[in-house]
């Protein structure tokens, strides 16, 4: 009896497995179909805003070169780069002081020109006529004097001027030996004086008397200046005349 139950149990198990497989096979297409179907959403009308952010350089789409009608010093700059300005706005200011000064000068010149014009339109005054007549008389007198020629006094004065000019030119062209000797003597005297005041200065400044020492230092400075001047005079005499001085002297002689 027990052997009979075993085949029956096996058949029941196989039947349950077959039924399960058949049910699973029927459910899989529905699940696959449910997974592959796309979702649907109801569409609505509206505004879409989309922006893009990227680095870049801001440049103007329109450029204009501006300049003042006159030159001057920049006083203020009330706008800055990139600022929005309206038509007629002040972009820069110049210092008005120089322009106002030129305007005042031009106004004064205008008034002077108007006064001259009014004077010409009114005709000459008696004082103007008298002055013009005096100028005419003086010019006529000078013309008459030139026509008559120089008198004895004028000739003597001209001869004296010529002699002085010739002497100056001769001295410039050939320096006097006496002048050279005098310059050498002056230089030697100045050097001796400098040496003397230096010795006195050393002796004075060795004592505790600041005032006397300062005076001695000043004396040494003056003596040193005298030596340099004497050296310059001697060098100038030894070098000969300055070409410009010679030309001036020659022009005075020829005149």
Higher pLDDT, 17 or 231: 231
* Same-domain check for residues 182 and 222: yes
Q: Tell me if 157 is assigned to some domain.
A: yes
Evaluate whether residue 200 is within a structural domain. Answer: yes
Asked, for residue 230, whether it belongs to a domain, the answer is: yes
Banded pLDDT at 25 (limits 50, 70, 90) = low
pLDDT tens by residue, 144-174: 776 666 667 766 776 777 677 666 666 665 6
CB–CB of 198/216 below 8 Å? no
Look at residue 216 and tell me if it is in a domain.
yes
Residues 247, 169 share a domain = yes
Highest mean pLDDT (candidates 15-24, 143-152, 246-255): 143-152
Q: Domain range spanning residue 221?
A: 176-239
Task: Look at residue 43 and tell me if it is in a domain.
Answer: no
Same domain, 167 and 189: no
Q: Express each pLDDT in 59-98 by its tens digit.
A: 666 677 777 777 778 888 888 877 888 888 888 888 888 8
Q: Clarify whether residues 188 and 208 are in a common domain.
A: yes
- β-strand partners of 74: 94
pLDDT of residue 11: 66
Tokens 């203020």 belong to: 76
**Would the pTM of this model clear 0.85, i.e. be above it?**
no
Number of domains in the chain: 2
Residues 180 and 235 grouped into a single domain: yes
**Within-domain flag for 210:** yes
- The closest alpha carbon to 182, from 238, 234, 223, 235, belongs to 234
Contact 245, 172 (CB under 8 A): yes
Give the pLDDT of residue 210: 80
pLDDT at position 1 over 50: no
171 with 182, same domain: the answer is no
Return the percentage of the chain with pLDDT > 70, whole number. 63
Q: Where are the alpha helices (DSSP H) in the chain?
A: 2-36, 96-122, 126-148, 152-173, 177-205, 210-239, 243-254
Same domain for 248 and 196 = no
Polymer length in residues for the chain: 255
Q: What is the pLDDT of residues 196-208, one digit of tens each?
A: 888 888 888 877 7
The answer as to whether 194 is a domain residue is yes
Q: Domain holding 209: CATH number?
A: 1.10.287
Q: Is the Cβ–Cβ distance between 246 and 174 less than 8 Å?
A: no
Tokens of 214: 């300062």
Q: Comparing 7 with 234, which gets the higher pLDDT?
A: 234
* Distances, alpha carbon 216 to alpha carbons 38, 92, 124, 188, 195, in Å: 120, 65, 72, 21, 12
Name which of 90, 111, 250, 233 is nearest 170 in CA terms.
250
- Same domain membership, residue 181 and residue 235: yes
124 within a domain of the structure (yes/no): no
């Amino acid at each position: 009896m027990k052997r009979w139950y075993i085949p029956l149990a096996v058949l029941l198990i196989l039947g349950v497995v077959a039924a399960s497989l058949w049910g699973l096979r029927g459910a899989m297409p529905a699940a696959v179909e449910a997974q592959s179907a796309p979702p649907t959403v109801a569409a609505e009308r509206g505004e879409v805003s989309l922006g893009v952010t990227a680095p870049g350089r801001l440049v103007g789409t329109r450029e204009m070169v501006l300049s003042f009608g006159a030159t001057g010093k920049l006083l203020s700059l009330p706008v800055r780069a990139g600022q929005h300005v309206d038509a007629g706005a002040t972009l820069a200011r110049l210092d008005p002081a120089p322009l106002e000064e030129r305007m005042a000068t031009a106004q004064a010149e205008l008034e002077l020109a108007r006064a001259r014009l009014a004077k010409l339109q009114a005709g000459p005054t008696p004082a103007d006529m008298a002055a013009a007549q005096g100028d005419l008389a003086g010019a006529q007198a000078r013309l008459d004097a030139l026509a008559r020629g120089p008198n004895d006094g004028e000739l003597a004065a001209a001869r004296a001027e010529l002699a002085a000019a010739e002497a100056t030119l001769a001295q410039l062209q050939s320096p006097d030996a006496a002048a050279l000797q005098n310059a050498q003597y002056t230089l030697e005297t100045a050097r001796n004086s400098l040496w003397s005041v230096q010795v006195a200065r050393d002796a004075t400044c060795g004592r505790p008397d600041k005032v006397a020492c300062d005076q001695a230092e000043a004396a040494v400075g003056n003596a040193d200046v005298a030596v340099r001047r004497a050296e310059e005079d001697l060098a100038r005499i030894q070098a000969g005349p300055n070409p410009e001085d010679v030309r001036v002297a020659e022009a005075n002689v020829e005149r």
